[in-house]
Chain A
Amino acid sequence: MKLKVGEDHGAVSRRAFLQRSALGVAAIAITPAGALINASEAWGLEVKGLKPQTMKTLILVARDIYPHDKVPDRFYAVAMKSYDDSAAKDPAAKAATEAFVAALDGAAGAGGYAGLGWEAERVAVLRAMSHDPMFQTIRGGLVVSLYNNHDLWPIFGYEGESYSKGGYLHRGFDDIDWL
């Protein structure tokens, strides 16, 4: 099942979904079959290569690297999905990603990375790992995979392509009214 932004995929039935909503679990839950679901955002993600908990942690890592409170989890999930895809195909990639998340969990203590309640606590763990090549790879990839998602742009008010609309000549290129 592929994750696609803005669509409710069938990895989770509507009933399971509602049940989980009612349970009030953390934003992203892991099903017994190993899929990630986010009930409030209405999406599910089948995890194929990584441990489901690893993928869940990676999504949180992505949010902690580029935290935008207006941006739903699904955009971070889309941006990080390639790590699961790679892990499904390449044992070395899988090992590297699992090792990185294991290191984060180890550094975080008993509850692991995801168990740290404050962003600042998790960021401190990331800072300590920020020279790790895997961290650099994740951050460097994310700056493109997150911000180049066209569906994300409206959240930031960025309007994207404008040629087909005739540019902004008659659409507010000089509409500033507060100076």
Chain B
Amino acid sequence: MSAKFDQNDDSVVVIVGSGAGGGTLGNELAQKGVKAVILEAGPRTEYTDFVNDEWESFGQLAWKDMRTTSGDWRVHKDFPNLPAWIVKSVGGSTTHWAGASLRLQEHELKTATTYGRVPGANLLDWPITLADLEPYYARAEDKMGVTRTNNLPGLPGNNNFKVLKAGADKLGYKECHTGRMAINSIERDDRNSCHQTGFCFQGCKWGAKWSTLYTEIPKGEKTGNLEVRPDSHVAHIEHDASGKVTGVVYFDKAGKIQRQKARIVAVAGNSIESPRLLLNSASSKFPDGLANSSGQVGRNYMRHLTGSVYAVFDKPVHMYRGTTMAGIIRDEARFDPKRGFVGGYEFETLSLGLPFMAAFLDPGAWGREFTAALDSYVNMAGLWIVGEDMPQETNRITLSDAKDQWGLPVANVNFDDHPNDLAMRAHAYKQGFALYDAVGATRTYPTPPYPSTHNLGTNRMSENPRDGVVNKNGQTHDIKNLFVSDGSQFTTGGAENPTLTIVSLAIRQAEFIADQMKGNVI
């Protein structure tokens, strides 16, 4: 039975957001007997309600509230009010994610040490190591049913993967397989196995792909210690004279202002909304926003390198059939500055349906060159480039002059590519072209980055409070009962899809919070 807590109950942990970070933290705390309330800005859309239709699903799940952008990134030009394609619904972006579940590499947690000084990059070593994370990665992989871990079989390869694999073999890449995916390759955890339906981005109607919506959240609710309140948009966090946070103020579905008291507040609204919330919580005591004595709240926004290569062949591929992210090549994820850049990147298959291909292949393009690509849609294969982008202080979330439907200043996302990002992307496009050319592509297309899905780094972890917003437990340096529980904690981004790391950090953070509460430290 789901709990129902009194809004004046100041013994609860309030979690803002129900995705990979918030949803996992809520369940982990509930399992330990800690009472938690998750406030989710979006509605509760169950997986049976998902739709296999790109635009309709976008309308159903995506975060469409106003945001603004600036900077030299192309998203600013093509999608000025859609910097990110993330979700406003219970389960957050775990409804939309593709399922790739990769561990960060050891050196990626020590970039300042490994990469050395990179001009313009605000590199910093994480305050934790891979060894610290490994036990939590293992628990997360087990929880999420990640293929190729714990003796779970890999998913079968679809057509898009087979093209990728053939190209990888021709190029001599060694590590190419159908990925480590949080998608059931066998029935497990009372959930279906993958039926190769496609539409992974539109929410898995089989429940085969792990999402907090139908795993963590109902499990937490069953303990009687977790309440999820959908349609609850947190406006700001409140604190007392000593600076401790005391609760949150939020708008309910009807737009009425509500208040939930709290012993602890954990912010998990994704790397755009979380810093926005801290900045919108500015007070006379904290005029620059909560937990911002370092001035780093909102800074070092990372989005992974990204970019896609689509290739057209003289014969059919039907890339959209089956798992959207159906396979991976990991060879380029290594650290090898001989390539002309630090950090590495992954190749992962990707496909879009015809409507989104038209919107994203080359946004704004028109005319016969563009439509020739779509005419060959059935003969198309595609991949996504996921690489480590450089943290830059000036790539940041700030409060915009624009207001949302609640009258709250919205987030502006400023982003300029770093020269290292440009060098890596150029390398990845070239390798992607070579890969598809090797299997007979007649045309290849360098598709620019989509609106961001891997939003990272805007409340980063640091050993020294001067360098970041939170410590190695995601606890803010400034306020001991205020936590950050999403990807905004990332000190640097690595080359790997971030969800597994977010989940692992949430499991780890739940242990820390429960211990601190038990010991009455918080």
Contact = CB atoms under 8 A, between A and B. Distances in A.
B378 A157 contact: yes
Interface stretch (A6-14, A37-45, A48-56, A164-172): A164-172
B302 to A, nearest CB: 29
Interface of A: 64-68, 70, 119, 123, 139, 143-144, 146-148, 152-153, 156-163, 166-169, 171-176, 178-179
Interface string B186-214: 00000000111111000001100000000
Interface in B13-68: 51-55
Contacts of A157: 316, 318, 377-378
A45 B285 CA distance: 65
A118 to B, nearest CB: 12
B444 interface: no
Interface of B: 51-55, 156-159, 162-163, 166, 194-199, 205-206, 315-318, 320-322, 353-355, 357-359, 364, 366-368, 370-371, 374-375, 377-378, 439
Contacts of A67: 367-368, 371
Given A163-B199, A172-B318, A144 B368 contact: no
A4 to B, nearest CB: 20
A123 B369 CA distance: 12
5 contacts: A67-B368, A119-B368, A158-B320, A173-B156, A179-B162
B158 A174 contact: yes
Contacts of A64: 367
B52 A163 contact: yes
A172 B319 CA distance: 11
Given A68-B374, A123-B367, A158-B377, A166 B195 contact: yes
A138 to B, nearest CB: 10
Nearest to A147: B358
A156 B375 contact: yes
Contacts of B364: 139
Given A119-B368, A168-B197, 4 more contacts: A66-B370, A143-B358, A147-B374, A157-B377
A173 B326 CA distance: 11
A161 B205 CA distance: 11
Contacts of A70: 375
Given A143-B359, A163-B52, A156 B158 contact: no
A168 B163 contact: no
B321 to A, nearest CB: 4
A153 to B, nearest CB: 6
A88 B69 CA distance: 35
Contacts of B198: 162, 167-168
B354 A147 contact: yes
Nearest to A65: B366
B354 A158 contact: yes
A151 to B, nearest CB: 12
B159 A175 contact: yes
Contact of A168 (B51, B196, B375): B196
B358 to A, nearest CB: 4
B171 to A, nearest CB: 14
Contacts of A167: 194-198, 206, 322
B320 A174 contact: no
Given A147-B358, A156-B374, A163 B367 contact: no
A15 B367 CA distance: 37
